[in-house]
Amino acid sequence: MPAPSREELRRLHFINALFVELTGHDLYLAEQIKSAIAFSLAEFEAQTREHPEYAARYDAAFNAAAARLLQQFFAGQPTHGFFHWDANGTTTSATPLFTRAELMTGLKQLATFRESTLLVTNLRPALLPPDRRETPRRRREYEEALTFIRDLAAARTPSYANLQLLFL
């Protein structure tokens, strides 16, 4: 059996981190979840084999499928809050003003829960597009956005609450 590729290992550890409450850090269980997500994207994966330039689109589809699965998992737990924010949702989502507004909506929803998860997806591609050059200015804006989101979540989360902030 050939060794898994770097991308497959990255996806495996990504799934293990997202679903730690289910897997308990068991990579075998994480592999089962990863395989189920990959199976749901089998047609897309076949297209990626034929056209390697589709790899970024496959990664985005894989991340979106994992986020939907995580949202379904937390929807079944009434004591655990969950909010997903996609920075690529609109062309202005990743700008500071809209970032704050959209995250505040989520943080208000999560404020009633003792345990909650805030999932932020596509922030990096929104601010550092893969088809464009990574300039120092873009890199700085990305770092500032990460810091801003962390600080906002820390400031707006009640002291009794435990918020997990995940970036994909």
Q: Which of 76, 97, 118 is the last residue of a domain?
A: 76
Which pLDDT score is estimated for 67?
A: 85
Q: Which of 41, 76, 111 is the last residue of a domain?
A: 76
On whether both 159 and 96 belong to a single domain, the answer is yes
| Inter-residue contact 33 to 19 (CB < 8 Å) | yes
- Helix or strand or coil: residue 3? coil
On whether both 83 and 164 belong to a single domain, the answer is yes
Structure pTM?
A: 0.77
- Residue ranges of the chain with pLDDT lower than 70? 1, 54, 91, 93
Which pLDDT score is estimated for 93?
A: 67
| Inter-residue contact 116 to 164 (CB < 8 Å) | yes
On whether both 34 and 96 belong to a single domain, the answer is no
On whether both 104 and 71 belong to a single domain, the answer is no
Q: Which of 25, 57, 76 is the last residue of a domain?
A: 76
On whether both 24 and 47 belong to a single domain, the answer is yes
| Beta strands 115-121 and 80-86, pairing class | parallel
Which pLDDT score is estimated for 40?
A: 83
Which pLDDT score is estimated for 1?
A: 61
